Amino acid sequence: MKSGMLRTLIGSTLVLTLFIVSSCGNTKKVVYFPSVKDGGIPVTTPFPESLIQKNDILSINVSSLNPDATAIFNTPNSAGGGATGAAGAPVGYLVNSEGFIQFPLIGNIKAEGLTKNQLKESMVKTLVDRKLLVDPIVTIRFVNFRVTVLGEVNHPTVVTVPNEKLSLLEAIGLAGDLTIYGKRQNVMIIREEKDQKVIKRVNLNSDEIFNSPYYYLQSNDIVYVEPTKAKVASVSRTNQVLPIVFSGLSLAIIAIQQLTNKD
């Protein structure tokens, strides 16, 4: 009699444990682009140039046939508006709160809202018009080109992009890929444009992403992956059921101990 009760209690405990484990798991296969077939996908959207924003740091190099005349333009700190690194070494020009950089001999130059190429053309024209240099060459790069990836990814991170070109898929890969609970059809991209936050949602289950203007990310973009309803439900269900399970296991252990001691 006692042995039968003991076996019943042990069996019930095992069944309950297996039920909880299976209910908390999700074995649904998650894939990207399920409708994409083999073959080429025409790309109609050109690679976008990032617009310069306030608080961006720009590396600006000027060269010409006269190295001596050019030297002063390659010392950011002499302008009073240069950004410096941890050791005090110049790393570039900071775009101030009014959208300007302060450049040697030229003074304030409007940078916010321009592409690197537009700013380069403006600077070359100014250098020539003021007869400061002959046939100058201006090279501009972002020092702080970065993208933030948050939400249902394995490793939320801030990605620094030295080559200034990063696709949405690359950013997700650098963040360790989406978790099984990431909502692939509704990935949010937050982008700053002209003093406002622009929010765009993209679907990673559709091949239309390859021609989206948001396929390539821009500096300071934020990528947020929402959790699925299954994730929210599983967390809620686990929080509700686990105390009951632990209480049931405790009672079962006490009952087993008492039956064993009587034997």
Q: How far is CA 19 from the centre of its chain?
A: 37
What pLDDT does residue 259 have?
59
Of 84-98, 164-178, 230-244, least confident by mean pLDDT is 230-244
Q: What is the mean pLDDT of the chain?
A: 79
Strand locations in the chain, DSSP E?
Answer: 57-63, 82-84, 90-94, 100-103, 107-110, 137-142, 146-151, 157-160, 166-167, 187-193, 196-202, 216-217, 222-225
Non-local CB neighbours of 240 within 8 Å, separated by 6+ positions: none
Taking a C-beta distance cutoff of 8 angstroms, is the pair 46, 216 a contact?
A: no
> Over the stretch 40-84, which tens digit does the pLDDT of each residue have?
676 666 777 888 999 999 999 999 999 999 999 987 544 445 555
Q: 28 pLDDT exceeds 60?
A: no
Q: 184 pLDDT exceeds 70?
A: yes
Res. 98 pLDDT band, cuts 50 70 90: very high
Domain 146-227 belongs to what architecture? Roll (3.10)
What is the third-level CATH fold of 57-142?
wza like fold (3.30.1950)
> Over the stretch 2-15, which tens digit does the pLDDT of each residue have?
555 545 545 555 44
What pLDDT does residue 261 have?
64
Percent of the chain with pLDDT over 70: 66
What pLDDT does residue 26 have?
42
Identify the CA nearest to 110 among candidates 195, 53, 48, 50.
53
Tell me the average pLDDT across 212-241.
76
Domain-by-domain residue ranges, the chain? 2-27+234-262, 57-142, 146-227
What pLDDT does residue 12 have?
53
Q: 104 pLDDT exceeds 50?
A: yes
Tell me the average pLDDT across 208-222.
91
